[in-house]
Amino acid sequence: MLACGYHQRLGDAHAEVVVLEQLGEAARGADLVVTLEPCSRYGRTPPCVDRIIAAGIKRVVVGVLDPNPRERGRGIALLQQAGIDVILGVEEEKCRQLNEPYFKYMATGRPFVTLKLATSLDGRIATRSGDSNWFSGPETNRFTHRLRRDCNALLVGARTAALDDPSLTVRHSQPRTRPLRVVLSRSLNLPLHLKLFEFQERLPTLVFTGKGSSASGIEALRTAGVSVAQVSESETGLDLHEVLERLGARGVARLLVDGGGRMAGAFLEASLVDRLFIAYSPVVVGQDGLPSFAMPGVERLVDARRGFLEWTRKSGNDVLASWRLGPEYWRGVP
Ligand SMILES: NC(=O)c1ccc[n+]([C@@H]2O[C@H](COP(=O)([O-])OP(=O)(O)OC[C@H]3O[C@@H](n4cnc5c(N)ncnc54)[C@H](OP(=O)(O)O)[C@@H]3O)[C@@H](O)[C@H]2O)c1
């Protein structure tokens, strides 16, 4: 192997360009192996296809076609027209999985939804008074900020916004993006001094509320520079499908749902969670602590939601676990 590279952050050089810059003249006559079809249009960076042709690459091995309809097959065709051999479909499924959120977004127009909770050993996300500040250790906090960094939007429920007063920013790591901050609230019982509403010029916040919400509440938020979008609602809350449609239309391809329990329960009940991260901390808060998923219970275990464990790992004094939920993942699980 002569060189290898990857696309490090949004707006930076794509993997192909990273590698070609390392190689210089040594790229002439070489094979290039890529997971995703090289891009053929100007986006945040110039087209990789032009760089590959100019570098004199002899053969390109591609894992999977770009699902973006504007790109799909175009990069391959341009390479072939330039006389470069192309082998397509090597480890296709693995390459698709590597970039799963992008494939979901392209197929559905909705973001890939990651839900993250920090829980006690007895499965609670806060004490009975709503205290959850000390749940996770510093290693898990760093993991959370890496997750945030890799998302386009961070979403919380109104009670988390009001009780915890989170800033919903990316810290402890170089930010790849400045994720959009999102709050869901029908009541608009959200004081304007919350940290979420600070620095609107550079860290915008979007509040989703109902179509019947108070006009004066909406006006107050807009005057403070906060964006407000109105969606359908039912007695249980805002229509989460519509929320995802709207976020997708704004270009949000990766969404992190960062609490609390009602939000987690609502997303789970609506089968809208693509990946679930739970950080278990060695603490027991008792049965009246707040549940991880505030949603109606089931009578029979056969009706319960089931998941598939992707991985676990130690994170300081906590245990991190990544789960997939939904029928497509529990085939073969008793
Ligand atoms: N350990 C953790 O990982 C973690 C993370 C975050 C928060 N927390 C803790 O969680 C607690 C807050 O959680 P929570 O369950 O009380 O509230 P929550 O999930 O943060 O917020 C629920 C609120 O969101 C609004 N909402 C809008 N649409 C909704 C829908 N479709 N479904 C559900 N809610 C909708 C409602 O407020 P409106 O009436 O305004 O519509 C509802 O009361 C706090 O104590 C916080 O410290 C823990």
pLDDT in tens, the chain (334 residues): 889 999 877 678 899 999 999 999 999 999 999 999 999 998 878 899 999 999 999 999 999 999 999 999 999 999 999 999 999 999 999 999 988 999 999 999 999 999 999 999 999 999 999 998 878 999 999 999 999 988 999 999 999 999 999 999 998 766 556 899 999 999 999 999 999 999 999 999 999 999 999 999 999 999 999 999 999 999 889 999 999 999 999 999 999 999 899 999 999 999 999 999 999 999 999 999 999 999 999 999 888 888 889 999 999 999 999 999 876 665 544 4
User: Which of the listed residues 74, 98, 122 is the one where a domain comes to its end?
Assistant: 98
Looking from the CA of residue 117, the nearest atom of ligand 1 is: 3
Residue ending a domain, among 56, 72, 98, is: 98
Do residues 231 and 320 share a domain? yes
Q: Say yes or no: 80 and 140 in one domain.
A: no
Both 86 and 124 in a single domain?
Answer: no
Are residues 217 and 282 located together in one domain of the fold? yes
CATH number at residue 172: 3.40.430.10
Mutate to test the pocket of ligand 1, among 136, 141, 184, 208 (most ligand atoms within 8 A of CB): 184
Determine which residue's CA is closest to atom 30 belonging to ligand 1: 237
Q: Are residues 88 and 148 in the same domain?
A: no
Nearest protein CA to atom 10 of ligand 1, as residue: 260
Task: Report how far ligand 1's centroid is from the alpha carbon of 162 (Å).
Answer: 9
Residue entry with tokens 């296709």? 92
Total-model pTM: 0.92
Q: Could you tell me the distance, in angstroms and rounded to a whole number, from the CA of residue 275 to the centre of ligand 1?
A: 19
16 is catalytic: yes
Asked whether residue 2 is assigned to any structural domain, the reply reads: no
Ligand 1 mutation target, pool 115, 122, 125, most atoms within 8 A of CB = 125
305 Cα: distance to centroid of ligand 1 (angstroms)? 20
Output the domain CATH number for residue 34.
3.40.140.10
Domain final residue pick, 81, 98, 115: 98
- Which of 16, 201, 269, 299 is catalytic? The answer is 16
Residues 265 and 156 in one domain: yes
Q: Is 66 in the pocket of ligand 1 (CB under 6 A)?
A: no
Say how many Å lie between the CA of residue 259 and the centre of ligand 1. Answer: 6
- Cβ–ligand 1 distance for 260 under 6 Å, the answer yes
* Atom 45 of ligand 1: nearest residue by CA position: 130
Q: Do both 91 and 31 map to the same domain? A: yes
Please state the atom number of ligand 1 nearest to the C-alpha of residue 270.
31
Overall domain count for the chain: 2
Residue 118, ligand 1, Cβ within 6 A: yes
Question: Residue 5 falls within a domain, yes or no?
Answer: no
The domain in which residue 289 lies consists of: 102-329
- 292: CA distance to ligand 1 center in Å? 10
